[in-house]
Amino acid sequence: MKLTESTNRIDILDYLRGFALLGIILVNILSLLAVKLPDLGSVDAAYQRFLFLFVEGRFYTLFSFLFGVGFYLFISRANAKGKNGYGLFLRRIAVLFILGWFHVTFHPGEALTVYAVTGLLLLPFYKVKKEINLGIGLLLLVGLSIMAFKLFMVVPLMLLGITAGQYRLFEGLSGKLKKAAIFTGIMFLLSLVGIINQFQHIPAQPFGFFEGGVDEQTYQFLSIGITIGPAVSALYVGLLILLLQFPFVQKLLSPLKSYGRMALTNYIFQTVFIYLAGYAFNLFGSISYLQSLAVCISIYVIQLVFSVIWLRYFQFGPLEWIWRGLTYLELPPMRKRIKIENEYAKK
């Protein structure tokens, strides 16, 4: 089984978007439900350490990078069809900004408004040579990572996503497996060194990172996590690409592809489901870290099942359909075309 690489969709990108969403919610839920500070030596404290070693700062980087890839693909495909790719893209990010503006009312720090503004700033780089974009993106990412400027790292991450589109990085992957394996090996070594370094700076006490200021040791621990985040994220990407070359893994993770195809819908509704759970079960300020994981797993199940079923009958996720309609100023057909087999053809 080969991953689809048609002009319409590149399957690996949907898998990666879905994978990114799985990690993002694990951290977002902590502040949205004001998860309780773990007790020292508890399982909750161990899970907190796991989150900040392997999840926080790893998945938003991937989501930002993938938005840059989508940025490039959208304009390129629109231009290839004889349409004004730049004009459509400006309308597209305007709609995204409005959606993000509503979303940020309930979820401070959400990403959509940041992506929209950054997309506008990076629009001129669409025509810049890929070698220049690669150099600028890497220099900015390394510099901002070292300084642990998490918010501003979105700019080089998206620029590198645009560059990946220019290099057609995710197309024809079956012929790039050796390079992918080497890249993954390098990222493994960098990530291993980085995580060991971060582990050595783990605070002795559990910390409430969203409650305000943190002590110097906690700040250093979190800063190292931000610095090594892109390398760990790249390692995850490489591993997933290699694993998806096996048909069994593709089939096993196929719900993740549907989840990623509806990334906008699922990203926003993660917040909706978190608040619904919070109000329905009075979880605000009273839920533990492990209980937050249980809530996330429940949301995973609901959204994964919904995404698979929805895309059996419809071409787009609900919010993707609205986003596309407002971008092109016309609503596309929602339902999939069902081919009716001619009874006489069987005879």
CA-CA distance, 211 to 203, in Å (whole number)? 16
Instruction: Say if CB 219 and CB 245 are below 8 A apart.
Output: no
Residue 72 placed within a domain: yes
Across the range 326-336, mean pLDDT stands at 92
Contacts 24+ apart (CB under 8 A), 220-224: 221/52, 222/52, 222/56, 222/148, 223/148, 224/148, 224/194, 224/197, 224/198
Residue 332 placed within a domain: yes
Percent over 90 (pLDDT), the chain: 87
Across the range 319-341, mean pLDDT stands at 85
Residue 318 placed within a domain: yes
Across the range 230-247, mean pLDDT stands at 96
Q: Which residues contact 309 (CB under 8 A, 6 or more apart)?
A: none
Instruction: Name the strand (E) or helix (H) holding 112.
Output: helix 112-122
pLDDT score, position 2:
55
Cα separations in angstroms, 244 against 65, 297, 327: 19, 23, 32
Residue 217 placed within a domain: yes
pTM, 2 dp: 0.93
Q: State the chain's mean pLDDT as an integer.
A: 93
CA-CA distance, 151 to 155, in Å (whole number)? 8
Tens digits of residue pLDDT in 195-234: 999 999 999 899 886 555 678 889 999 999 999 999 999 9
Instruction: Say if CB 192 and CB 95 are below 8 A apart.
Output: no
Token pair belonging to 185: 């090996």
Residue 90 placed within a domain: yes
Region of 109 on the Ramachandran plot (φ > 0 left; ψ -120 to 50 alpha; else beta): left
pLDDT score, position 347:
42
pLDDT score, position 84:
94
pLDDT score, position 339:
47
Cα separations in angstroms, 139 against 6, 72, 136, 153: 32, 20, 5, 11
Tens digits of residue pLDDT in 107-151: 988 899 999 999 999 999 999 999 999 999 999 999 999 999 999
Residue 16 placed within a domain: yes
Q: Which residues contact 201 (CB under 8 A, 6 or more apart)?
A: 217, 220, 221, 224
Residue 235 placed within a domain: yes
Is the predicted pLDDT of residue 341 greater than 50, yes or no? Answer: no
Across the range 321-341, mean pLDDT stands at 84
Residue 5 placed within a domain: no
pLDDT score, position 86:
96
Q: Which residues contact 103 (CB under 8 A, 6 or more apart)?
A: 110, 112, 113, 268, 271
CA-CA distance, 287 to 281, in Å (whole number)? 10
Using DSSP's 3-state secondary structure scheme, residue 314 falls into strand
Is the predicted pLDDT of residue 346 greater than 50, yes or no? Answer: no
Is the predicted pLDDT of residue 235 greater than 80, yes or no? Answer: yes
CA-CA distance, 150 to 148, in Å (whole number)? 6
Tens digits of residue pLDDT in 82-114: 999 999 999 999 999 999 999 999 998 889 999
pLDDT score, position 1:
46
Residue 108's domain spans which residues?
Answer: 11-346
How many whole angstroms from its chain centre is CA 45? 26
Instruction: Kindly write down the DSSP assignment for every residue of 264-306, as one continuous string.
Output: HHHHHHHHHHHHHHHHHTT-TTT--HHHHHHHHHHHHHHHHHH
CA-CA distance, 94 to 84, in Å (whole number)? 16
Tens digits of residue pLDDT in 8-66: 679 999 999 999 999 999 999 999 999 999 999 999 999 999 999 999 999 999 999 99
Percent over 70 (pLDDT), the chain: 93
pLDDT score, position 281:
96
Across the range 331-343, mean pLDDT stands at 68
Structural domain count of the chain = 1
